[in-house]
Amino acid sequence: MSKPSSTEIVFVVEDDPEGGFVASALGHSVVTQAATLDALKQAVRDAVACHFEDAERPKMIRLHYVRDEVIAA
């Protein structure tokens, strides 16, 4: 018997220091990266599809963008 599916999975999206973006799922071992935001969206969809069985796959993916910015005092 499979677990009921969660309705949503949340990814924290950060700038990759080497260029592009990295997305890490909260509460799951799912991490992916891409050069552009459009490519990252597809990479996140693909990663979720690979990580979860159909019955357990979340129905929505939320991307939470985090950006650190350092400014002079």
Contact 56, 50 (CB under 8 A): no
pLDDT at 2: 42
Residue 14 gets the label, from left (phi > 0), alpha (psi -120 to 50) or beta, of beta
Stated pTM of the model: 0.84
pLDDT at 10: 97
- What does the alpha-carbon distance between residue 9 and residue 27 come to, in Å, rounded to a whole number? 9
pLDDT at 69: 84
Would you write out the chain's pLDDT as a tens digit for each of its 73 residues? 344 447 999 999 999 999 999 999 999 999 999 999 999 999 999 999 999 998 999 999 999 999 888 899 9
